Amino acid sequence: MTTIIAITNEKGGVAKTTTTLALGGALAEANHEVLLIDLDPQANLTLGLGVPPAKVRRSIADVLLNSANLLSVSRETGIAGLDIVPSNAEMSMAERFLPVRQNYEHILKGVLSGPLNYEYVLLDCPPSLGAVTFNALTAADFALIPTQPEYFSAHGLRSLMGAIRKVRAQNNPDLAYYILITMMDRRNRIHRALKEQLQSTFGEGLLETIIEIDTKLRESTIAGTPITHYNPQSRSAQQYRALAEEILRNAQAEQDTAPDK
């Protein structure tokens, strides 16, 4: 089975793309076949794997807007088991033109419903709650929500929780979610207090794994390589491996408890 994960947050700057890249690297390192799909017109995930978006001729926009074959647009990265469907500036048209199509919320789900030679598909969503993000949430088995332990970031989760409830009610009743604390400074009293508040509010919806601040993460994106491969012994590489293990456990638990179809 293929597990589809939408990595999303309405707020930018919460390490969403970094998490997509690093989690993909950790899963590939553990011998899983992984496809990354860059749904953001800013194309930071594409750039983060060393692919200049301006040189991308065919992107995920061709799949969503022109019905191109997904695998014909995908490309290998320099990491075994890790492929990417890149993005470019043409994705900016998706928010405008997707809603014109009938049942537009299900387009990405239809694209991903066919046989895929991937165990995990990671969807890097734009920092908005528009048509593209709703497509991703409709297609996903669960949403992974990176958030900083900062007031505005935590407060912004309200809108996303509302979007998840809407998608559950209309298109994807089995959609689960997990919240990941990123850019944590354990010495910061406010960070510790907001972590406790998130734990109290979301309970089991908050992942045990925490990603702390690490300059090596920024270096890895500049190098166009996941942190697990750029600096395998770094603290953040170890933490993203722990995240991958926790994701694997949760995905297996979801499959074990899912009703037979």
Q: Could you tell me the CATH number of the domain that includes residue 95?
A: 3.40.50.300
The answer to whether residue 261 sits within a structural domain is no
Given a cut of 60, is residue 261 above it in pLDDT? no
pLDDT at site 205: 92
The reported pTM is 0.94
Q: Measured between alpha carbons, how far is 166 from 168 in angstroms, rounded to an integer?
A: 5
Q: Does 1 fall in a domain? A: no
Indicate whether 46 belongs to any domain: yes
Q: Helix (H, G, I), strand (E, B), or coil: what is residue 229?
A: helix
Report the domain count for the chain.
1
Domain that holds residue 217: 6-255
260 assigned to some structural domain: no
Query: Is the CB of residue 50 less than 8 Å from the CB of residue 224?
Result: yes
Residue 193: inside a domain: yes
Tens digits of residue pLDDT in 121-136:
999 999 999 999 999 9
Q: Residues for the chain: how many in total?
A: 261
Flag whether pLDDT at 260 surpasses 60: no
Contact between 46 and 124 (Cβ < 8 Å): no
Average pLDDT score over residue span 67-94: 93
- Give the model confidence (pLDDT) of 15-58 as tens digits: 999 999 999 999 999 999 999 999 999 999 999 898 889 899 99
User: DSSP H helical segments within the chain, as ranges?
Assistant: 16-29, 44-48, 60-66, 70-73, 94-97, 107-112, 131-139, 151-155, 157-170, 189-202, 215-223, 227-230, 235-257
Q: Does some domain include residue 111?
A: yes
Q: What pLDDT, on the 0 to 100 scale, is given for residue 253?
A: 75
Whether residue 131 is contained in a domain is answered as yes
How does pLDDT run across 133-182, given as a tens digit for each residue? 999 999 999 999 999 988 777 777 889 999 999 999 999 999 999 999 99
